[in-house]
């Protein structure tokens, strides 16, 4: 029956149906114990997501990284966003309204694909290749790019493009899947054979081309960035981390142009 429905019902309609089903089940999750910092929902626990328990918001679909970023915005860690320009790659539904409410002078949502999944992503304003966007240089104060670079074979070109687009005093907030305890990155060239099933096994998804190690910092620095590695446990208490459903050790990379990075006294 499911196979027949897939043939009859267009993908976009199936996505909308799944979203409606998700919202219909929302009252079952309401309670206390967890608070989504993206949408404000109070629930007993977050939902499972790809084998991980207590991680996904049942309303806005935020994950731990999004909720951490929402708090960083809330406490001003990323600077004063009001009146400044934002570039958001692969724009997530859970961050979209939050970013618009900060009052930016411009908010450009960009993706490589025009298709999007309602409730998870939002429709992009522009279809752009992150390796060569053709946007003006030094045109954005804040760039957000979550879990995109692991899809890009030429990630060094993408990182160089982010550097080109960032204003001298701006910040870029980047996250990627980082293998726990790994120092070195492994990419598709290490696979034998390089097949979709092997990529799922080694990198977590068939459209991922690598699993990063902490040597990603070297890649950022090679492009001219100063790098601040920030984890939830560096900023918030264990109680806050539990309530907001954060991943305490998940690294977030906050980049600035090296020539303009603040120097220690």
- Name the percent of the chain lying above pLDDT 70: 86
Q: Name the residue with higher pLDDT: 221 or 202.
A: 221
pTM of the model: 0.87
pLDDT value at 201 more than 60: yes
**3-class secondary structure for 194-207?**
CCHHHHHHHHCCCC
pLDDT value at 21 more than 70: no
Cα 141 from Cα 250, distance rounded (Å): 24
CA separation (Å) from 29 to 22, 41, 42, 45, 67?
11, 10, 9, 7, 18
Measured in whole angstroms, how far is the alpha carbon of residue 234 from the centre of its chain?
Answer: 19
- Per residue in 42-87, pLDDT tens? 999 999 888 889 999 999 999 999 999 999 999 998 888 999 999 9
Instruction: Give the model's confidence band at 163: pLDDT under 50 very low, under 70 low, under 90 confident, else very high.
Output: very high
- Write down the mean pLDDT value for the chain: 89
Cα 150 from Cα 168, distance rounded (Å): 26
Question: Quick one: pLDDT at residue 83?
Answer: 97
Q: Which residues contact residue 215 at a Cβ distance below 8 angstroms, ignoring those fewer than 6 apart?
A: 183, 184, 185
Superfamily holding 64-178+214-260: Vaccinia Virus protein VP39 (3.40.50.150)
Identify the weakest region by mean pLDDT among 9-13, 59-63, 107-111, 127-131: 9-13
Cα 198 from Cα 205, distance rounded (Å): 9
């Amino acid at each position: 029956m499911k196979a027949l429905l897939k043939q009859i019902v267009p993908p976009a309609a199936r996505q909308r149906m799944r979203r409606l089903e998700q919202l219909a089940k929302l009252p079952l999750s309401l309670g206390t114990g967890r608070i989504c910092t993206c949408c404000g929902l109070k629930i007993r626990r977050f939902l499972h997501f790809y084998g991980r328990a207590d991680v996904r918001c049942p309303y806005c679909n935020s994950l731990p990284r999004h909720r951490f970023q929402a708090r960083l915005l809330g406490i001003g860690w990323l600077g004063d966003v009001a009146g400044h320009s934002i570039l958001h790659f692969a724009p997530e539904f859970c961050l979209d309204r939050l970013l618009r409410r900060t009052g930016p002078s411009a908010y450009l949502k960009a993706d490589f694909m025009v298709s999007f999944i309602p409730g998870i992503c939002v429709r992009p304003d522009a279809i752009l290749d992150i390796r060569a966007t053709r946007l003006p240089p030094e045109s954005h104060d804040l760039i957000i790019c979550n879990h995109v670079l692991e899809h890009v074979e030429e990630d060094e070109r993408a990182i160089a493009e982010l550097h080109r687009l960032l204003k001298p005093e701006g910040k870029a907030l980047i996250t990627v899947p980082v293998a726990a305890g790994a120092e070195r990155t492994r990419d598709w060239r290490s696979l034998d054979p390089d097949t979709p099933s092997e990529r799922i096994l080694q990198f977590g998804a068939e459209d991922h081309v690598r699993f990063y190690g902490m040597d990603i910092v070297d890649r950022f620095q090679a492009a001219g960035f100063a790098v601040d590695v920030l984890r939830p446990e560096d900023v918030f208490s264990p109680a806050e981390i539990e309530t907001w459903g954060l991943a305490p050790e998940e690294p977030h990379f906050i980049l600035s142009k090296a020539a303009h990075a603040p120097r220690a006294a």
